[in-house]
Amino acid sequence: MDSRATCHHCNAPVGDSPYALVVSGPDDDWRLPLCRACQELRQNGQLPVDLLVQQWAYGRAGSRGSTITSDLELVVIQLDCLGCGGGFSGGSDEEDAEAESVGAASARRLPDGSLSTVCPSCRRTNVLERRGGQLVAVRLW
């Protein structure tokens, strides 16, 4: 990561923070870097992914003249661990299938309807919820 990069949410320098939110559209992927302070807010459930995506869509709409709603409907949010920033799936189809089976095997339904799953890399428990039909990590448990 470029040490001069700024946090997508607060514009503070990112420094050596490995954290980012990755959104994918029909033609491109965007990596939205996050500083450690903002990532800690995400880990505690105090910085919703919805807000980060809305900030991104608002910035994009202003630069392209598109509407925010059209951008939000077209993006897919990459499911990453909030603890280590690593993805829950690997690069190849075989690795993806293995990661999905590990994630599914360790996922547990919580009383509030969300799911919890343990990251295979850092072993931290992520709480997952549906946002716009997508499963996203919302906090650490």
Helix (H) or strand (E) holding 37: helix 36-43
Mean of all residue pLDDT scores within the chain: 82
Q: Average pLDDT, stretch 130-136?
A: 85
Higher pLDDT, 25 or 36: 36
Cβ-contact 90, 121 below 8 angstroms = no
Whether residue 6 is predicted with pLDDT greater than 90 in this model: the reply is yes
Distance CA 12, CA 22 (A): 18
Q: How confident is the model at residue 92 (pLDDT cuts 50, 70, 90)?
A: very low
At a CB cut-off of 8 Å and minimum separation 6, what does 40 contact?
A: none
pTM of the model: 0.78
Per-residue pLDDT, 58:
87
* DSSP 8-state class, residue 130: E
Domain boundaries, the chain: 1-78, 86-141
pLDDT tens readout for residues 44-91: 999 999 999 999 988 887 755 555 555 567 789 999 999 999 987 544
In 28-102, beta strands by DSSP E: 29-33, 76-77
Both tokens of 102, joined, read: 């590990």
Distance CA 88, CA 124 (A): 12
**CA atoms 107, 28, 37, 121: torsion sign:** positive
Strands 108-109 and 134-140: unpaired
Q: Could you tell me which of 20, 32, 30, 39 has the C-alpha nearest to residue 80?
A: 20
